[in-house]
Amino acid sequence: MKRDIRTLRDLTRADMDHVLSLAATLKQERGEGRLRPLLAGKKLALLFQKPSLRTRATFDIGMTELGGSTLFLGPDEVQLGTRETPADCVRVLDRLVDIIAARTFAQEVVEELAEHGSVPVINALSDLYHPCQVLADLLTLKESKGRIEGCHVVFVGDGNNVAHSWLLAAEKLPLRFTLACPEGFEPDREILESAVAAGADVAVTHDPAAAVDGADAIYTDVWASMGQEAEAGDRQTAFAAFQVNRELVARASDDVVVMHCLPAHRGEEITDEVIEGPHSVVFDQAENRLHAQKALMVWCLSGD
């Protein structure tokens, strides 16, 4: 059966544990100078509608380290939805490659690729979800805190695609997730209600100071993502009280870790003092995109 990662709902709890365990093993082996060609001869298509640093670099390097090769197809090559439909595109690519990672705007593009393709499709980012980022975050959380179970992760900022994927992670894992956002910037209602119905320990508040009290991890992201540039001025006003700074971090637990999926707008959602400070694991997260995605590709193609 084909394995797609459209959202984290495509992984069971056992699948997620397996991927995170394999990611930790592959990271350790890489640090020891051992690279196993687990995907020798396999071909990955990187189908991107949006520019990227971490996503492109980590998938490309990851597949190379696993013994495979990559084909990058940027927005000018394919022009998904205008020059070529996602369905037609994937029906060509699945005769040429073994797996596809798609970085898109609309989640519907990912769904259409997965529906019409015969090879696994990984959501490398959409406007609605960012499963690869949160898998890397979970690996980072386990490394830095020694556990995932019982951790309280507080996301300070917009109810965006990263927050949505954390809500889905909380459906599967025994962690507590709180989103502190301004009024009007709550997460998608259906996603939140689904997480609550699944028994996830999740909450939404408009008080960042109260939310981070005793938190194990404070997470933030840019206030205006790609495609929201026209709203940047209004968002800066709305989010002014939601900056992750020294005062906010001081309200959390003494060993709190500070997370950011990058790129960061320093001085806006997070201060230089915090992102460069002793609590920051931001660049560990960036590196862990490599290890988590390597494990995810192996899982998608291994069938075990």
Please give the positions annotated as active site.
103, 130, 133, 221, 261, 289
Instruction: Please say whether the dihedral angle defined by the alpha carbons of residues 141, 145, 151 and 156, taken in this order, is positive or negative.
Output: negative
CA distance 160 to 129: 8
- For 34, list phi and psi in degrees, rounded to 5: -115, 120
Between CA 109 and CA 117, with CA 111 as vertex, the angle to 5 degrees is: 95
What 8-state DSSP symbol labels residue 36? -
C-beta separation of 129 from 104 below 8 A: no
Closest CA to 9 of 142, 129, 138, 100: 129
CA distance 48 to 79: 9
